[in-house]
């Protein structure tokens, strides 16, 4: 395709629209970002509502690694590192991830398509920090982060 065949523009609403003739018409929404603590639960979702009458919704961990796909009223969970730790809310499109780990940090992609083949994509950046109270490479047992931090301050001579 020539440069004139591929047109994209950024609308003032923060939506990037592509009209590449070789690809189905696709609307890209700007990325949102979340930061959470390792071991917690998180809900990845878009700030706006899902498009009316969507037929398929897919969450990706990477561009080619599907986590879950909703189609015709049924959710299909893929064999990935998230198996048993995720749940899709088809009403809102939210992807709930339980017991997040540092390795879950990534840019997630939600793709929605309707009956005419129009696709929309949203990107959500997730950053997972170490457990609360994690210091000097040590991980505190859950709920004991502050006590461990206080103990390390005393033993290192800090007050």
- CATH number of the domain where residue 32 is located: 2.60.40.10
Q: What's the pLDDT score for residue 132?
A: 62
Domain assignment present for residue 2? The answer is no
Q: CB neighbours of 93 closer than 8 A, spacing ≥ 6?
A: 45, 46, 50, 57, 110, 112
Domain assignment present for residue 3? The answer is no
- Per-residue pLDDT of 34-64, as tens digits, reads 999 999 999 999 888 888 888 999 999 988 8
- Per-residue pLDDT of 64-74, as tens digits, reads 899 999 998 89
Domain assignment present for residue 136? The answer is yes
Domain around 50 = 8-155
Domain assignment present for residue 1? The answer is no
Count how many domains the chain has.
1
Q: What's the pLDDT score for residue 155?
A: 39
């Amino acid at each position: 395709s020539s440069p004139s065949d591929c047109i994209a523009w950024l609308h003032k609403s923060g939506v990037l629209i592509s009209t590449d003739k070789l690809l189905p018409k696709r609307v890209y929404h700007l990325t949102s970002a979340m930061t959470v603590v390792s071991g917690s639960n998180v809900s990845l979702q878009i700030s706006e509502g899902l498009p009316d009458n969507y037929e398929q919704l897919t969450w990706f961990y990477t561009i080619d690694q599907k986590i879950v796909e909703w189609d015709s009223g049924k959710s299909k969970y893929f064999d990935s590192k998230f198996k048993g730790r995720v749940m899709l809310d088809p009403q809102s499109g939210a992807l709930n991830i339980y017991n997040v780990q540092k390795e879950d940090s990534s840019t997630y992609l939600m793709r929605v398509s309707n009956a005419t083949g129009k696709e929309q994509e949203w990107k959500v950046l997730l950053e997972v920090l170490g457990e609360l109270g994690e210091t000097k490479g040590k991980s505190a047992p859950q709920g004991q982060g502050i006590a461990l931090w206080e103990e390390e301050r005393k033993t290192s001579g800090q007050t």
